[in-house]
Amino acid sequence: MDLLQPIIKPYAWGSRDALARLLGRGTPSAGPEAELWMGAHPSGPSGLTRDGRAMTLLDAVAGDPDGELGRACARRFGGRLPFLLKVLAAEQPLSIQVHPDRDQARSAFAAQQARGGHGPYADDWPKPELLCALSRFEVLAGFRDREDAAHILEDLGVDGLRPVIGLLRAGTGEQALSEALRALLERARDDRAPLVSAVVASSRRLARSAHPRAAAYAAVERMSRHHPEDLGLVASLLLDHRVLEPGTALFMPAGGLHAYVHGVGLELLANSDNVLRAGLTAKEVNVTELLRITNPAVRVPAVVPRSVPGPGPTWLYDCPVAEFALYRTELDGSGGPLVPTSGPRIAFCTDGSARLSTRAGHTEPLRLGLGASCFLPASEEEVLVEGEGTLFVAAVGRLPDEHGAIARDSLTPLH
């Protein structure tokens, strides 16, 4: 068991107090703190100390993939820890973005490397995501139904949107949503500011009305304070607007267009940093590549946690991916074996405290207080946990063994 030293990413959209509170600091940070990374991604591997020597989790896994990950996991993922656990602290909206699937990432990254390495792909991995709200969390997640998208634009009463609405009305499937997005993002540069200004003004009016989509219009108004002339404000209305309550979650498949607007949440994702942006950003928007990766048919399901046996009331947030699965345990003082019982795991305490020990007692017990995390290698199979508080555990998802069978204690079948 290794206590982790997570990496904080100070992106401009972050909060000065959310991570400070979670990590038990008494005062806000000097600047924005956006993401807390717990994992082994090359651009932000967590630190740890073994036998008095400081290293990163990336170094530890590379030194003994079979021991740290387990043989089946090491083979399946090329000796790489397949998941990355983050806390997102979004004080301002993140960009509207999409992530590739495995085949898209491999081929696009290889082509980018052949061209000299410059481009939008950070690695050759997919990036499906699970977001579990720790506070109320506002999101834009997947496209609306085509007819609903036409209505929400039409009700703005903005003449400049008529061609986009026409594409939606004339379309016969989800592809019309992609064409509408293309028409917005390829808008003539001189026409962009007037269009965005008119949409924001109408959104402000409708946000204060009894319109059934008032919350989505209100989000446009709020986001405009940070991105006043961004076409992403208009594009956001093509997406489904939701607010997650604490403890609720959604699964973002590859190809699903989305944006995280405001809140604090736990994000578990494949170990990748591949992002293609559509708006609400000062970074490059590659419209051609964005639309190639975006799948307008992707719907973003809520993940309903289901109860599983554990050392206290325990729930599994199940997702149809091999890279990750998330468990939440409300420790009630009774204690018992940590769930899941095998494979590489990262445990993270978001409330109270937990004490972890091995049944054999060959390592020192480890205490996790508020905001603390640890890595449990595959070689530590019998880990006991006790305490009072909330413990999240990130683990590998559906992983076949050497005979092709699904390892029961690395994940639970989906319904």
Q: Residue 78: give its domain's CATH number.
A: 2.60.120.10
Dist CA 214 CA 152 (whole Å): 10
- Residue 133 and residue 14 in one domain: yes
What is the sign of the dihedral through the CA atoms of 221, 223, 226 and 232?
A: negative
- Burial (CB < 10 A; 0-12, 13-18, 19+), residue 24, is exposed
Alpha helices in 42-174 (DSSP H): 57-63, 65-69, 71-76, 102-114, 146-154, 162-170
Dist CA 250 CA 266 (whole Å): 11
- Residue 121 and residue 178 in one domain: no
| In the block, residue with structure tokens 């007037």 | 194
- Residue 70 and residue 208 in one domain: no
pTM: 0.92
- Residue 271 and residue 401 in one domain: no
Across 199-214, b (16+ Cβ under 10 Å) vs e yields: bbebbeebbeeeeebe
- Residue 171 and residue 135 in one domain: no
The tally of domains found in the chain comes to 3
Which residues, in sequence order, are CB contacts of 88 under 8 Å at separation 6+? Answer: 34, 35, 94, 131, 260, 263, 264, 265, 266, 267
Phi, psi of 348 (to 5 degrees): -140, 125
To the query of whether residue 277 is one of the catalytic residues in this protein, the response is: yes
Q: At what angle do helices 146-154 and 175-185 cross, to 10 degrees?
A: 40
Residue 295 lies in a domain: no
Q: 50: helix, coil or strand?
A: strand
Element (H, E) at 239: strand 239-244
Bridge partner residues of 406 (DSSP): 400
Least Cα distance to 23 among 89, 83, 80, 71 occurs for: 89
Name the active-site residue from 144, 146, 242, 277.
277
Instruction: Please list the pLDDT of the chain residue by residue as tens digits (415 residues).
Output: 999 999 999 999 999 999 999 999 988 999 999 999 999 999 999 999 998 999 999 999 999 999 999 999 999 999 999 999 999 999 999 999 999 999 999 999 999 999 998 899 999 999 999 999 999 999 999 999 999 999 999 999 999 999 999 999 997 788 999 999 999 999 999 999 999 999 999 999 999 999 999 999 999 999 999 999 999 999 999 999 999 999 999 999 999 999 999 999 999 999 999 999 999 999 989 999 999 999 999 989 899 999 999 999 999 999 999 999 999 999 999 899 999 999 999 999 999 999 999 877 667 899 999 999 999 999 998 899 999 999 999 999 975 544 443 333 333 322 2
- Residue 186 and residue 69 in one domain: no
